[in-house]
Every structure is written in structure tokens, then in C-alpha cells.
Amino acid sequence: MQRNMREAFQKLRQRSLAGEVRDEIERMILHGEIQAGERLNEINLAAQLGVSRGPVREASRSLEQEGLVTTVANQGAYVRKLSLEDALELYDLRAMIAGHLCAEAAERATPEAASELRRSVARMDQAIGDGDQDSYFELNLAFHDQIAVASGATRSRALYTSLGKEVRLLRLRVLTGIESLTLSNAEHDRIVSAIENKDTEAARHEGAQHHINGKTRLLKTL
């Protein structure tokens, strides 16, 4: 009995450690500390994170399933580098799903959820004022997750989240510079206004257009 408990506890600790390693490597990728196309060096990452190579290897497999990493036979794991065609298609798909999520949020969001979305816009304004692009990046991700939750559309939310993992590889290019952040948050403001007013068609339009505008901003960086 005790042996079984010890084994179960050890497996739980291993899963927890692997999850923490995965989260940290994901953070490094999304913040550009590990660049697109760069190899995930297991030895260096294990030393940097103070773990063995096992959790790093497991994290790489998990991140591959999420579209952030790709494995090359006999060479190792690399941060995925999206082609322009892939990136543009992802933006179009996200635009369609986001429009639906925003429309559903306009219909279903509670007053509390709408108020929290408005506070999120204010927090992003503050980050812009502080010149804190890293904070804006995180707040932006959380804002779109909030809309997905408020929509109550579980399948669309899952699809949006899945596609979002890959799009995040590009966010540091799209959400760079005060002008770009200001334009982005003005679009957030219009989305929230439509949700607050329970205007489903305006919310659908603003949600989709926000992602189309993101695609346009990406093209301008090329």
C-alpha cells in the first residue's frame, strides 16, 4: 500500500515538474527568448532550468502537439517557423471564429464579465502608457481568453485556443511599437462596447475585423 502511494506521488511530482518546464519553455518561445527556427537544446535548457533532460524532452513533445515546436528526425526539436501562407490562413480562420465568439459573448456575457473586459482594456491602456509591451502582450492574450469564456461556446473556444498557439509565434512582430498597440487596443474597446450593448452583429464584425487588422499589421512588417 505504502509503495503504491509512493509510486503514485512520484508520478504526480514528475507530471507537475514536466508541466512547469513546459510552461517555462513556452514562455521563452512566446517572448522571443528562443527564436523561431531555433533548436531546443535539451542540455542547455535542462541546466538553465535545473532539471534533468527528461522533463525538457517531455515538454518538447507537448509543445509539438500545440503547434509551437516541430521535430526533425535525427536532429531534434525546433521552434516552429511559420510560412507566410500558414500565417495568413491562421489569421483568416481566427477571424471567423473570433467573430462568432464575440457575437456569442454579446448575447450571453454577464454584466460582471462585461465589466471585467472593460477593466482589461483599461489595464492595456495603462501598459501602453507605461511603454510596457511585455505586459500588454500578456494582457492581450488574457483579454481574448476572457471573451472566449464569456461566449459559452465551448467548441469554438477550443478551436480558437488551438489555433492561437501557433499565431502567438507572430504576436511579437505584430504587437510591437506604441502605435501598433494603441490601434490594437482601440479595436478591443470597440469589441467591448458591442458586447456591453448586446449588439451581436457589431460584436461579430469588430471581433473578426480585429484579427483581419492583425493580419494587415503582420504584412506591414515584412
CATH code for the domain of 198: 1.20.120.530
Residue that is last in its domain, among 58, 79, 100: 79
Same domain, 111 and 178: yes
Q: Write down the pLDDT at residue 164.
A: 79
Residue 72's H or E segment, with its range, is strand 69-72
Same domain, 93 and 174: yes
Give CA–CA dist 206/37, Å, rounded: 33
Q: Write down the pLDDT at residue 10.
A: 47
Residue 43: all three cell numbers together: 542540455
Residue 109: all three cell numbers together: 456575457
Question: CA geometry: angle at 169 spanning 165 and 170, to 5°?
Answer: 120
Tell me 168's DSSP state.
Answer: H
Q: Write down the pLDDT at residue 186.
A: 98
Strand partners, 71: 77
Same domain, 177 and 89: yes
**Residues 191 and 210 sit within 8 Å (Cβ to Cβ):** yes
Task: Specify the residue for cell string 464579465.
Answer: 113
Q: Write down the pLDDT at residue 36.
A: 83
Q: Write down the pLDDT at residue 15.
A: 59
Residue that is last in its domain, among 45, 79, 113: 79
Identify the CA nearest to 83 among candidates 91, 95, 75, 73: 91
Q: Write down the pLDDT at residue 31.
A: 76
| Residue 91: CA count within 13 A, CB half-sphere | 21
pLDDT along the chain (222 residues), means of 10: 45 68 88 87 93 91 88 90 86 96 98 98 97 89 95 94 77 74 96 98 98 89 78
Same domain, 95 and 19: no
Neighbours of 80 (CB within 10 A): 19
Residue that is last in its domain, among 79, 104, 126: 79
Task: Specify the residue for cell string 510552461.
Answer: 23
